[in-house]
Amino acid sequence: MYTYNEVSNLYGSAFKAEIDTIIWQMTHFSQLRPIREYDMSYLYDETMIVKRCFYSESDEVGRRMSDILRAILKHEPSDKMDYEHLLILIQASSEHPLLIKELESLDNVTRRLSPRIEVRWGLGKNDDLGKKLFAMIVYSI
């Protein structure tokens, strides 16, 4: 599993520029199922923000979401039960779009999280991915 080398642990409003970047990335790259900027304005008031990015290891359509979900669960913050918000951006290529069964498996995992965690997710396309998937995950409290 390749974890994109952009892990950010942000504390407080001193990181406005980094939060602006996260919001821009989430809104800019979620064209198919958008996440709106106003839906993420709470980030400026959060105490802590953790951002992680993953690429699927497999380009096999049936296994690529499993790779992403395994990475999310493996790399999630150890104190995730304290997290109140979770943003998920999934990207696939136009030629190899996200399948309904892949989306359902993402939904099944997010439903198992604490009911206190508000989950928002978006879908985007990136034709440079080929058959692989990309995921950006942002946890915050």
**pLDDT tens-digit readout, 22-44:** 899 999 998 889 999 999 999 88
Region 10-21 average pLDDT: 74
Closest CA relative to residue 117, chosen from 72, 85, 79: 85
What confidence tier does 52 reach under pLDDT thresholds 50, 70, 90? confident
- More confident position, 5 or 80: 80
Q: What pLDDT is stored for residue 6 in this prediction?
A: 47
Cα 100–Cα 103–Cα 24 angle in degrees, nearest 5: 125
Which residues fall within 8 angstroms of residue 34, CB to CB, at 6 or more apart?
27, 122
**pLDDT in the model for residue 96:** 93
Residue 102 to residue 31: CA distance in whole angstroms? 18
Q: Give the pLDDT of residue 84.
A: 85
What is the pTM for the complete model shown?
Answer: 0.83
Mean pLDDT is lowest, of 67-71, 84-88, 109-113, for: 109-113
User: What mean pLDDT comes out for the span 70-90?
Assistant: 75
Of 133, 5, 9, 4, which Cα lies nearest the Cα of 69?
133
CATH number of 2-140: 3.30.1330.20
